[in-house]
Chain A
Amino acid sequence: SQKIEQNSEALNIQEGKTATLTCNYTNYSPAYLQWYRQDPGRGPVFLLLIRENEKEKRKERLKVTFDTTLKQSLFHITASQPADSATYLCAPTGGFKTIFGAGTRLFVKA
């Protein structure tokens, strides 16, 4: 069955550093992959979408890579800030169906 794996352990980093979150998927060939941010008690918020023919996409301090050979996406937040603390969800989409990962919690310390 299709499986999405994200680091279940929280990621703690110092303000100003780059946070890197990993998303691996198996038994799945998504046409594109999305990243969402979710704060406690709120619905997920769309951040970035990268297509299978794109290797990298950037938006402000965010960068996403998509390696269809490794079946992996990396999500980077550069110059991280305490306001970046949240849970980040990976969501590959294929066949008009999106599957969400359980997310990785990020804590950025001032």
Chain B
Amino acid sequence: SAVISQKPSRDICQRGTSLTIQCQVDSQVTMMFWYRQQPGQSLTLIATANQGSEATYESGFVIDKFPISRPNLTFSTLTVSNMSPEDSSIYLCSVGSGHAGETQYFGPGTRLLVL
């Protein structure tokens, strides 16, 4: 298993600003994922970030709003740009394990509130 940390753990932001969330893994991994989770809701995949390639975004999420960096095999960032109250959520990063990355290990999440 991998140990994953996220920064910040929580933040309160003003609308129109941007926040960058960091995800650090204690081992080298190929597949990293970014999710959003509304209270009481399921996890929604934002994008898959594999090192050495551009992030792949899911339907409804665009790079201009959620730019992702993946500079090496242990680190990734997700930026939430031009925030609105609708972006208030928990943002989680995870890494894939297993021969096809099917099992995921999650970070503790970043709780974001946009006023």
Contact A42/B102 with A89-B42, A101-B42 known, Cβ cut-off 8 Å = no
Q: Does B108 contact A (CB under 8 A)?
A: yes
Let me know if B106 and A98 touch, CB within 8 A. Answer: no
Q: Does B101 contact A (CB under 8 A)?
A: yes
Chain B's nearest CB lies how many Å from the CB of A104? 11
Chain B's nearest CB lies how many Å from the CB of A51? 10
Let me know if A46 and B103 touch, CB within 8 A. Answer: yes
Residues of chain B having any CB pair with chain A under 8 Å = 1, 4, 40-43, 45, 92, 94, 98, 100-109, 111
Let me know if A46 and B104 touch, CB within 8 A. Answer: yes
Q: Which residues of A contact B42 (CB under 8 A)?
A: 4, 89, 100-103
Indicate with 1 or 0, residue by residue over A29-50, a CB within 8 angstroms of chain B CB atoms.
0001010000001111110010
Chain A's nearest CB lies how many Å from the CB of B42? 4
Q: Which residues of A contact B92 (CB under 8 A)?
A: 43-44
Residues of chain A having any CB pair with chain B under 8 Å = 4, 32, 34, 41-46, 49, 89, 93, 96-98, 100-103
Let me know if A34 and B109 touch, CB within 8 A. Answer: no
Partner of A46, one of B45, B105, B109: B105
Q: In the complex, A44 Cα to B41 Cα: how many Å?
A: 13
A-B contact pairs, 23 of them (CB 8 A): A32-B102, A41-B108, A41-B111, A42-B108, A42-B109, A43-B4, A43-B92, A43-B107, A43-B108, A43-B109, A44-B104, A46-B104, A49-B98, A49-B102, A89-B43, A96-B100, A96-B102, A97-B45, A98-B102, A100-B42, A102-B41, A102-B42, A103-B42
Q: In the complex, A44 Cα to B94 Cα: how many Å?
A: 9
